[in-house]
Amino acid sequence: MDKIAVLIPCYNESKTIEKVVKDFKSVLPEAVIYVYDNNSSDNTAEKAEKAGAVVRHEYMQGKGNVIRRMFREIDAEVYIMADGDDTYPAEYAREMADKVIFKKADMVVGDRLSSTYFTENKRPFHNLGNTLVRGSINRLFKNNIKDVMTGYRAFSYNFVKTFPVLSQGFEIETEMTIHAVDKNMAVENVIIDYRDRPDGSESKLNTYSDGFKVLKTIIRLYKNYKPRQFFTLFSFLLGIIALIFFVPVFITYIKTGLVPQMPTLVMCGFVVLAAIQSYFSGLILSTIAQKSKQDFEYKLVQTEDKLKEFKSENSDKKVKGGEL
C-alpha cells in the first residue's frame, strides 16, 4: 500500500506529461506517480515512463472509465488526482495531502474559481458553465463547494473505495462532488492558481456536448439522491398544468351549468392523478435513498477496518525490514 499515490489520467498529453510528472516527484518525493494512458496516439506513455512514472493503460475511452480503473487498482492512504496538461501547479499537492492526513478530509477540492481561472481561461463558455454548475449544485444540494468541476483533488482511502463511478466522461468531477455532499463526507477547499494550457496543447473537453452531459448528470443525481424534492417539484408542475386547463372549464360551468369541454376536464383529472402518483413515488423513493445512506455508513466502517489492516501489514513489514 502506497502512502501517497498521484493519479494522472492522460490522453495525448505528450507536450506536458514529462514536466507534470517531474513537478509532482519534486513536491512529493515519497509518492508513487501513476499515469494511466487512455489510448493516446502520441508518445505520452513513453515520456511519462521516462520521467519516472508508473504507466498503466485503460482501453475504454473516457475520463470516467480511467478513474474507475485507477480507483480499483491503486491502494494508498492518500490519493492526489490531477490532469496531465500542466494546468494545475504541483506545489499545492502537499497542502492538499496534509488535509487528508491531519484533518481527516475525505475530499480536498483544488479551487480554481477563487483565484486565476476566469482570467487565465480563454474559453468564455467554460467560465459560464463552471459558474452555472457550481450555483446549481450548491442550491440543489444546499452546500458551498467552491469549484465543482476541477480536476485537481485529493482523496482519502475511504472515499476512493466507496465511490461508485457511474459516469464515463468529464462529468465524473460533478458526480464526485455530489456524492461527497450527499454522503456527508468531509470536504475541504484549497485555493490554487490555474494556468491555461501551453501552446500546442489542445483541450479534449467539448464545451457544448460535455456541458450538456454535466447538466444531465446533475438532474440524474438530484433525482437519485433527493427523490422527494425532485418528485414533489414534478408533482407541483403537473398540478399547475391541470389547474391552468381546469379554470376555464370551471368558469364555463359556473356561468352556464354545462361542461362543453368534457375531454379537457377528463385530461385534467388524469394529470391530477399523475401529480398525486408522482408525489407518493417521491416519498417511497426517499425511504429507499435513506436506507442506501445507512448501508453506506456500514460500508464506510468496513473500509476503515480494511485500511487499518493495510497499515498494520505495512508496519509489520517495516519492523521486519529493520530487524533484517
Q: Which of 142-146, 182-186, 237-241 has the highest mean pLDDT?
A: 237-241
Predicted pLDDT at 142: 82
User: What does the mean pLDDT of the chain come to?
Assistant: 88
**Residue 257 above 90 pLDDT?**
no
pLDDT in tens, 175-205: 999 999 899 999 999 999 887 766 665 666 6
Q: Could you write out the three-class secondary structure of the chain?
A: CEEEEEEEEECCCCCCHHHHHHHHHHHCCCCEEEEEECCCCCCHHHHHHHCCCEEEECCCCCHHHHHHHHHHHCCEEEEEECCCCCCCCHHHHHHHHHHHHHCCCCEEEEECCCCCHHHHCCCHHHHHHHHHHHHHHHHHCCCCCCCCCCCCEEEEHHHHHHCCCCCCCCCHHHHHHHHHHHCCCCEEEEECCCCCCCCCCCCCCCHHHHHHHHHHHHHHHHHHHCHHHHHHHHHHHHHHHHHHHHHHHHHHHHHHCCCCCHHHHHHHHHHHHHHHHHHHHHHHHHHHHHHHHHHHHHHHHHHHHHHHHHHHHHHHHHHHHHHC
The band of 228, judged by pLDDT with boundaries at 50, 70 and 90, is: very high
Q: Specify the higher pLDDT residue, 131 or 172.
A: 172
**pTM (2 d.p.):** 0.81
Predicted pLDDT at 212: 80
Please provide the CATH number assigned to the domain covering 2-225: 3.90.550.10
High-pLDDT (> 90) share of the chain, %? 58
